[in-house]
Structure 1
Amino acid sequence: MPAYVVLLSPDYQVPFANHFFEEHFGKSEGRRCYEYLFQRVEPCENCETYKVLKTGLPHRWEWTGPDGRNYDIYDYPFKDSDGSTLILEVGIDITETKQAHAAVQAERQRLFDVLETLPAMICLLVPDYHVAFANRSFREKFGESGGRRCHEYRHGLAEPCEFCESYKVLETGQPHHWEVTIPDGSVIDVYDFPFTDVDGSPMILKMDVDITERKKAEEALVKIEEARIKEIHHRIKNNLQVISSLLDLQKEKFSHREVCKVSEVIEAFMESQNRVISMALIHEELYKGDKIDTLEFGSYLRKLTADLFGSYNIGNKDISFKLNLEQVDLDMDTAIPLGIIVNELVSNSFKHAFPAGKGEIQINLLRTKNSASKSDIPVSDKDCMGKSGFNYILELSDNGKGIPEEIGLESSNSLGLQLVNILVEQIDGEIELKRDKGTEFKISFIVQR
Structure 2
Amino acid sequence: MLTDITERTRAEEQLKESERRVRAKLESILTPAGDIGHLDLKDIIDVPAIQPLMENYYQLTGIPLGLVDLQGNVLVGVGWQDICTKFHRAHPDTRRRCLESDTILSQQVPPGTFKLYKCRNNLWEMATPLVVGGKHVGNLFMGQFFFADEMADYDFFCSQAREFGFDAEAYLAAVSKIPRLDQKTVDTAMSFFAKLAHMISLLSLSNIKLARAVAEQERLVESLRLSEEKSRAGEEFLSGIFNSIMDGLSILDLDRNIIRVNPTIRNLFPASEILGRKCYEVYHQRDSVCPNCPAEHTFKTGEASQGVNEVAIGSEELRFIEIFSYPLFNRNTGRLESIIEYVRDVTERKQAEKELARSHWELQKNAQELARSRNMLQLILESIPVRVFWKDKDLRYLGCNELFARDAGFKHPEEILGKDDFAMGWREQADLYREDDRQVMESGLPKMNIMEPQTTPGGDRIWRKTSKVPLSGPDGEVFGVLGIYEDITDLKKAEDKLRTSLEEKEVMLKEIHHRVKNNMQMISTLFDLQLKYGRNQDPSAVFRDCQNRIRSMALVHESLYHTDTLASLNFRQYLEKLLNRLLASFSSKVPSIKTQVSGPAVILGINQAVPAGLVASEIIVNCLKHAFPGEQPGEIHIRLAENDGRRIIEIKDNGIGLDREFSPEQINSFGWLMITNLMKQLNGTITVTSNDGTTCRMVF
Per the shorter chain, which TM-score range? 0.5 to 0.7
User: Would you say 1:358 and 2:635 are equivalent positions?
Assistant: no
Matches of 1:324 and 1:219 in 2, distance apart?
38
Tell me how far apart the structure 2 counterparts of residues 361 and 403 of structure 1 sit (CA, whole Å).
Answer: 20
| TM-score, normalising length: structure 2 | 0.38
Letter in 1 for 2:437: R
Compare relative contact order (CA 8 Å, sep 6+) and give the higher one, 1 or 2.
Answer: 1
Question: Per-residue deviation at 1:161?
Answer: 6.3
Match of 2:668 among 413, 432, 446: 413
Q: Residue 348 of structure 1 corresponds to which residue in structure 2?
A: 622
Which structure features the higher share of helix residues? 2
1:343 Cα deviation after fit? 0.9
Partner of 2:699: 444
Q: 2:685, 2:545 → 1: CA distance?
A: 24
In 2, Cα distance between equivalents of 1:307 and 1:93 = 94
Q: Does 1:27 align with 2:321?
A: yes
Q: Show the counterpart of 1:110.
A: 375
C-alpha displacement of 1:100:
1.4
Distance 1:143 1:226, change over 3 A: same
TM-superposed deviation, 1:98: 1.4
* Alignment partner, residue 227 of structure 1: 504
Residues 392-407 of structure 1 aligned to structure 2 (within 5 Å): 392-402=648-658, 405=661
After superposition, give the CA deviation of every residue in 1:349-404 in whole Å (9 maximum; x if it has no partner): 2333444452534223143xxx5553xxxxxxxxxxxxxxx464423335225268
Question: What amino acid is the match of 1:135?
Answer: C
8 Å CA contact 2:451, 2:464 repeated in 1: yes
Q: Give the Å deviation of 1:302.
A: 2.9
SS at match of 1:402: coil
The one-character-per-residue Cα deviations of 1:277-331 (angstroms, maximum 9, x if unpaired) are: 123333444555678555444443233222212213436x985133242241423
Q: Structure 1 unaligned runs (5+)?
A: 1-10, 32-65, 73-89, 145-149, 166-178, 198-203, 375-389
Q: Which 10-residue stretch deviates more, 233-242 or 304-313?
A: 233-242
Deviation at 1:190, TM superposition (A): 5.4
Residues 152 and 158 in structure 1, CA contact (< 8 A), matched pair in contact too? no
Report if the CA contact (8 A) 2:388-2:485 is conserved: yes
> Relative to structure 1, is the Cα distance of residues 356 and 256 closer, same or farther in structure 2, using a 3 angstrom cutoff?
closer
1:310 aligned to 584, 591, 597, which one?
A: 584
- Sort the Cα spacing of 1:265 and 1:242 in 2 relative to 1 into closer, same or farther, 3 A: same
Alignment partners' CA distance in 1, 2:499 and 2:451: 19
Paired with 1:228 and 1:187, the residues of 2 have a C-alpha distance of 28
How far apart in 2 are the matches of 1:27 and 1:439?
129
The aligned counterpart of 1:338 is: 612
Q: Which amino acid in the other structure matches residue 303 of structure 1?
A: K
Determine if the alignment matches structure 1 residue 154 to structure 2 residue 437.
yes
Q: Write the deviation string for residues 141-186 of structure 1: whole angstroms up to 9, x where unpaired.
A: 9948xxxxx9987143564366646xxxxxxxxxxxxx34479997
Partner Cα separation in structure 2 for residue 162 and residue 417 of structure 1: 78
Residues 441/189 of structure 1: CA separation in 2 closer, same or farther (3 Å cut)? same
Which residue number corresponds to residue 387 of structure 2? 121
Q: Which amino acid aligns with 1:252?
A: L
Q: Rg bigger for which structure? A: 2
**Residue matched to 1:247:** 524
Question: 1:135: how far off?
Answer: 0.8
Change over 3 Å in CA distance of 1:274–1:118 after alignment to 2: same
- Separation in structure 2 between the aligned mates of residue 421 and residue 298 of structure 1, nearest angstrom: 22
Task: Please say if 1:424 is aligned against 2:679.
Answer: yes
- Cα-to-partner distance string for 1:235-257 (whole Å, 9 max, x where unaligned): 56325413422431330342589
Q: 2:508·2:567 contact (CA, 8 Å) conserved in 1?
A: no
AA aligned to 1:320 is I
Q: Any gaps of 5 or more consecutive residues in structure 2?
A: 1-243, 249-263, 265-307, 311-318, 326-348, 409-415, 422-432, 455-461, 475-480
Per-residue CA deviations over 1:179-225 (Å, capped at 9, x if unaligned) read 34479997526599xxxx9xxxxxx9964314266325412431233
CA contact (8 A) 1:402 1:437 kept: no
* Among candidates 359, 384, 393, match of residue 94 of structure 1: 359
Which amino acid in the other structure matches residue 594 of structure 2? F
Q: Quick one: which amino acid aligns to residue 440 of structure 1?
A: T
